[in-house]
Structure 1
Amino acid sequence: MPRNVFADKHIVLGVTGSIATYKAVALASALVQSGAHVDVIMTESATKMVQPLSFQAITHRPVLTDMFSLMAETDIGHVTLGKTADALLIAPATANTIAKLALGLADNLLTTTALAATCPIIVAPAMETNMWRHPATQANIATLRERGVRIVEPEAGYLASGASGVGRLAAPERILTALRRTLTPQDWAGRRVVVTAGGTREAIDPVRFISNHSSGAMGYAVAEAALDRGAHVTLISTARHIPTPEGATLIPVESARDMREAVLNAIQDADALFMAAAVADYRPADVAAQKIKKSDDDLVLRLVRNPDILADVKQVRPARLVVVGWAAETDHLIENARQKLERKGLDLIIANPVPQSFGDGRVQATLISRHGEPRPLEPMPKDALAHLILDAVHTLVQQRNQTG
């Protein structure tokens, strides 16, 4: 998880009596492994689905089921739980519990804790399709949303009844993403950012293309981090193999010319552009209409220059736009990166030594701005680097918006 926002956080996990109750065990495990302190509250019906011992073995804390025994045996009453927690996550949440939450009922430890809670509440429903679509359930969901409860909507798929439809508990990754974003300071809220990712593909014929080693992982890490911090994100990407971060607006592209058009359109109402994509400098002059057949002769390709996207951005950028670029270099890293920053009018450039700039592992980077000395960083995962880049850009965006 970026910056491990779960570390040392107190999470109350509410578990209700759904056929998906067993999936909450995996959620508890993921949170504990991320360093969170997890208190599990189970409704009576949830204990019929999964034994409390399953959660206790993972969290190493007593599982809470009865309000009166809790008050008698410990100093952690329902009010204390709701006040000391950093977040209350209810997953899975049945239609019955959702209705109780909407009405403000407090007839068990979970609903009483929710009513007394001063922390953020996240609800992940799970139920049959008709129950989910019922007007009463939808009205209750709307009521909870109006009160600031974050809803992780159920997914479509195979249900316990044997039918298929919407109602499956959201995947653990989606639930944890919602919780992570709830716990992350929203310092980019209301900002609009554009992120490019992946290596462009320049066609040779219908089945072959010229590209590079860029995986797209850095761009996706920046997009995910910006979403976590509240930004509206437009992701312009060639990387089809990476799942789109939830909440991002994806614009799929292939070539440098495709990316140029998408970028120039997207930046008009943006606050920041993160040009993390590895854009091909050249493309074949002629693209064969049919697959080129192998022969005994050498194949010679004539290449022509692609448009320089950052140079074009420089000509049309809105006054408020902060532009961030990347430089992957084999030699003279700082010198070449600084020249690119000046030549293309960038506000910040991330300099990476090749081959460390490619792949999904740890990456070494140096941040270079228009003013000040280069800032070399220790090798780190790309998601951690993405947050450091956002930190550096945040002040620039604020300054640009104040003066613009």
Structure 2
Amino acid sequence: MLAGKHILLIVGGGIAAYKSLDLIRRLRERGAAVTPVLTRAGAEFVTPLSLSALAGRKVYSDLWDLTDEAEMGHIQLSRAADLVVVAPATADLMAKMTGGHADDLASTLLMATDKRVLIAPAMNVRMWQHPATVRNLATLTADGVLTVGPNEGDMACGEYGPGRMAEPLEIVTAIESALGDGPLKGRRVLVTSGPTHEPIDPVRYIANRSSGAQGSALGHALAALGADVTFVTGPAEVPPPAGVDVVRVETAREMLAATEAALPVDAAIFAAAVADWHVAGSEQKIKKTGTTPVLEFSENPDILARVAQRDRDRPRLVVGFAAETENVLAHAEAKRTRKGCDWIVANDVSPATGIMGGTENAVTLITETGAEEWPRAGKADVARRLAERIADALGPA
């Protein structure tokens, strides 16, 4: 999707600047040309030589370079690109953009461009939550500036919270979405992901070993093909993909409500590992009393079947996942028939495979025409292949 596209990448000052090196590599892998612009502060963290070697192009940093400015180089730079990306976008750069400052090359380019701008904020959690940054972000969003991240996590300064720059692949997805005219453009797709947690009491719950990695990768791949993705996720270990509408839930019943609220959609992919049962939970922590407590189990709603068997608003394509530990294909085919879905993605999650909670998957795609076994691959590769099949099945919007 990025083949032939030209990205103007502004690298701000911050420890997250090292991620810009990998971002350039990822963009060039996808056929994009990248022209780096390095701020003075950014040069404290990465070198022009590193950026130039990866981009295969000159790095620009000085507004007053006479050779370039003799032909108004900053105007040409700002308008030759298909998209301007700021990564990392520091609090200072965001403030300059909001105030319309133009006192160095980066801020001047941002003022002079007639192209869309995507920022990937990165800063200390207190800076991110400061009222000035909150106001600046609101202004930039209202002005049409696109954002990706930040994520929550450990900071280089030792603090924890939101402020970590989005990962390079997340930024790539956001770039693809900003530029995308992919095969799923105009299509609405629902993805469920992650486990569900069913409370026993205020401190305990029933869960499973799903990390949410396959669902997150699938949301990423669908968005990269241009889909408008609603991503309903339980308490997953991995962050949701960028460029999607994230709805966070905890229980199966909450996931059902969020799923039904997202309809109608063109396709629904149920990658979540939903708990089969919930219990009549206690409002207080269950204490040890010398006797074993008795838990009363009730079945959770069957989200896949409810959507697949709807009389109205049924998606054109309903895809379920079948995580099995024995007789995988037989159980998966029976599930497809019983639930009424169009496709089932079957995988063996027995402990020896390491798939549940791991980084790879080995799946068999089961449709009404038969079973198609795919080789074991990284979950991102499996997601891309499935997203492409979904695009083929739906056709142009």
Q: TM-score, normalised by structure 2?
A: 0.70
Contact 1:362 1:379 in 2 (8 A): yes
The aligned amino acid for 2:356 is F
Q: Helix, strand or coil for the counterpart of 1:316?
A: coil
* CA deviation vs aligned residue, 1:281-340 (integer Å, no higher than 9, x gap): 3444x5456615263x66665644443333332332535502110011223322321221
Residue 33 of structure 1 deviates from its aligned partner by 4.8
Matched, 1:281 2:279: no
Q: Structure 1 residues 71 and 302 mapped into 2: Cα distance closer, same or farther (>3 Å)?
A: same
Q: 1:317 to 1:197 in 2, by over 3 A?
A: farther
Equivalent position of 1:387 in the other structure: 384
Q: Check if 1:315 corresponds to 2:315.
A: no
- Name the CA shift for 1:226/1:275 in 2 (closer, same or farther; >3 Å): same
How do 1:47-58 and structure 2 match up within 5 A? 47=40, 49=41, 51=43, 54-58=46-50
1:28 paired with 2:20, answer yes
Take 1:153 and 1:203, find their aligned partners in 2: how far apart are those partners? Answer: 30
For 1:180, give the aligned amino acid: T
Deviation for aligned residue 1:352: 0.6
Contact 1:25/1:55 (<8 A) preserved: no
Shift of 1:173: 0.7
Which residue of structure 2 lines up, in the alignment, with residue 369 of structure 1?
A: 367
Paired residue for 1:160? none
2:197 counterpart (201, 216, 227): 201
Q: Which residue of 1 aligns with 2:170?
A: 177
Give distance in 1, aligned partners of 2:120 and 2:301.
46
* Separation (CA, whole Å) in 1 of partners of 2:299 and 2:254: 14
Determine if contact 1:205/1:292 at 8 Å carries over to the other structure: no
3-state DSSP class of the match of 1:269? Answer: coil
Q: 1:70-114 deviations in whole A, cap 9, x for unaligned?
A: 7479x9x6687567756432445365566669xxx9x97657866
Q: 1:25-52 CA deviation, whole Å, 9 max, x = no partner?
A: 324323245364653334xxx43x4548
Preserved CA contact (<8 Å) 1:6 1:34: no
Alpha-carbon separation, structure 2, partners of 1:385 and 1:320: 25
What percent identity do the matched residue pairs reach?
A: 31
Paired residues of 1:268 and 1:317 also in contact (CA < 8 A) = no
Distance 1:205 1:155, change over 3 A: closer
Moved more, 353-362 or 83-92: 83-92
By how many angstroms is 1:66 displaced?
Answer: 4.5
Q: Which moved more, 1:171-180 or 1:381-390?
A: 171-180
Q: Which runs of 5+ in 2 are unaligned?
A: 153-161
Match for 1:271 among 263, 266, 269?
A: 266
Instruction: Measure, in 2, the Cα distance between the counterparts of 1:384 and 1:248.
Output: 22
- Shift of residue 9, structure 1, vs aligned partner: 7.2
For the 8 Å contact 1:15–1:24, the answer to whether it is kept is no
Q: Contact 1:38–1:59 (CA<8 Å) still a contact in 2?
A: no
| Aligned-partner SS, 1:63 | coil
Report the 3-state secondary structure (helix = DSSP H, G, I; strand = E; otherwise coil) of the residue aligned with 2:346. Answer: strand
Structure 1 gap ranges (5+): 157-168
3-state SS, counterpart of residue 34 of structure 1: helix
Change (3 A) 1:306 1:52: closer
1:132 and 1:304 map into 2 onto residues whose CA distance is 47
Is 1:40 aligned with 2:33?
no
- Distance in 2, matches of 1:153 and 1:200, equals 24
8 A contact 1:351–1:365 mirrored in 2: yes
Report the number of matched residues.
363
- Does residue 328 of structure 2 align to residue 330 of structure 1? no
